[in-house]
Amino acid sequence: MTAATEPRAGAATRLLVVDAGGAIAHHAASDLAGLVEPGDVVVANDAATLPASLAGIHEPTGAVIEARLAGHRTDVAPGRVGFLAVVFGAGDHRTRTEDRPMPPLLAPGDGLRLGPLAATVDRLVDHPRLVALTFEGAPAAVWSGIARHGRPIQYAHVPRPLALWDTWTRLASVPAAFETPSAGFVLDWATVQRIRERGAAFATLTLAAGLSSTGDPLLDARLPFDEPYRIPAATASLVAGAHASGGRVIAIGTTVVRALEDAALATGGVWVGDGLATGRIGPETRLRIADVIVSGTHEPGTSHYELLRAFQPDRVLAELSRQLDARGYLTHEFGDFVWLAGTRTGDRRILERSATMAAP
């Protein structure tokens, strides 16, 4: 597939649709609301993207580095701010991530000067590029420094430097994500209104989406890293109501699937509040909450593609990939979209509606 090289309006994108039986159809992304049925609930990630790429200096050697923030730390002292970060040597996004040089040898206690910010390497996390950092200063000063100095994480397929607002979906609210929860680009507020007019519900959650690539095969094999999330009470209630009435839960993006499945309850709903998604979803996963995923297009071998394997068998995904290639769909964060219904969706809805009709 060809990478999208520029942000694009939702109306200009396409949507490949795979139904629960594996049949494929082609739509405009603007047709999304027409695929939603009464009783469904559409759930999106409202995380706004942080300027998580920080250029700077490795103080012990004076070498130029780039630190890409990759995860929130909860094991730092009260009143301090810490992150996991992937550190590169000199260069910028114009060089493919897999071709970026290694940083200088990093060790606990090393200082990093990142624009107006100072950070200390607390430890290496089983890889010479992945470190646990603690920033100096009060949290307000650290966040202000990140806002002033940081840039969005981006990759070589987008040649021009991105502004932060290029990476925000129209739903962006809580500044939590390190990379864009880009499936949200399929939505605008007019689409949300049409979804509601069709008798479906719309809800959000927040998951701190992490890196999609580190450029290193060993690190990439560990993706996604642990990701904190928050599920509002209203969202949990709508999810439970949809399943109770035979409606579908339609997840906008892999991040939403990860949060919902991590928070799944035996009752068929999800818990309310904060959680930490630590597991990986793949072909062996039995989905308990998400019936449909609307996602960007993903290449086989990536963690995002592995998640899609929980919805449909490999033969269907192989045909999906073939048609994406043959019809020139665009990939990566500004590309086109797929609607992928799970193979169990139709059976589950029939069984639940039959049970509802049989109830006295």
Q: Hey, is 342 helix, strand or coil?
A: coil
* Residue linked to tokens 């609301």: 33
Buried b (16+ CB within 10 A) or exposed e, 283-292: eebebbbbbb
Give the C-alpha separation, 276 to 206, whole Å.
11
Q: For residues 253 and 230, give the distance between their C-alpha atoms in angstroms, rounded to a whole number.
A: 16
CATH class, range 2-49+161-358: alpha beta
The letter for the amino acid at 135 is F
SS3 325: helix
Type and span of the H or E element at 346:
helix 345-358
Mean pLDDT of 308-323: 97
Residue with tokens 């990140």: 146
Confidence of residue 345 (pLDDT cuts 50, 70, 90): low
pLDDT band, very low/low/confident/very high, at 266 (cuts 50, 70, 90) = confident
Q: From CA 39, how far away is CA 152, in angstroms rounded?
A: 37
Which is it for strands 117-124 and 130-135: parallel, antiparallel or unpaired?
antiparallel
Instruction: Give the span between the Cα atoms of 313 and 317, in whole angstroms.
Output: 7
- pLDDT at 359 exceeding the cut of 50: no
In whole angstroms, what separates CA 170 from the centre of its chain?
Answer: 15
Separation of CA 184 from chain center: 9
Mean pLDDT, the chain, rounded, equals: 93
For residues 199 and 33, give the distance between their C-alpha atoms in angstroms, rounded to a whole number. 11
Q: What percent of the chain has pLDDT over 70?
A: 95
State the pTM of this model. Answer: 0.93
Give residue-wise pLDDT tens across range 14-47: 999 999 999 999 999 999 999 999 999 999 999 9
CATH top-level class of 53-149: mainly beta
Is residue 99 pLDDT above 70, yes or no?
A: yes
Q: Looking at the predicted structure, is the pLDDT value of residue 348 above 80?
A: no
pLDDT at residue 149 is higher than 70: yes
Region 152-174: mean pLDDT is 95
Q: For the chain, what are the domain ranges?
A: 2-49+161-358, 53-149
Residues listed for the chain: 360
pLDDT digits (tens, 9 = 90+) for 192-217: 999 999 999 999 999 999 999 999 99
Provide the 3-class DSSP secondary structure of residue 122.
strand
pLDDT in tens, 225-263: 999 999 999 999 999 999 999 999 999 999 999 999 999
> What pLDDT shows up at residue 9?
54
What's phi and psi for 36, nearest 5 deg?
A: -85, 140
Judged on CB neighbours under 10 Å (0-12, 13-18, 19+), 45 is buried
Q: What is the pLDDT of residue 11?
A: 52
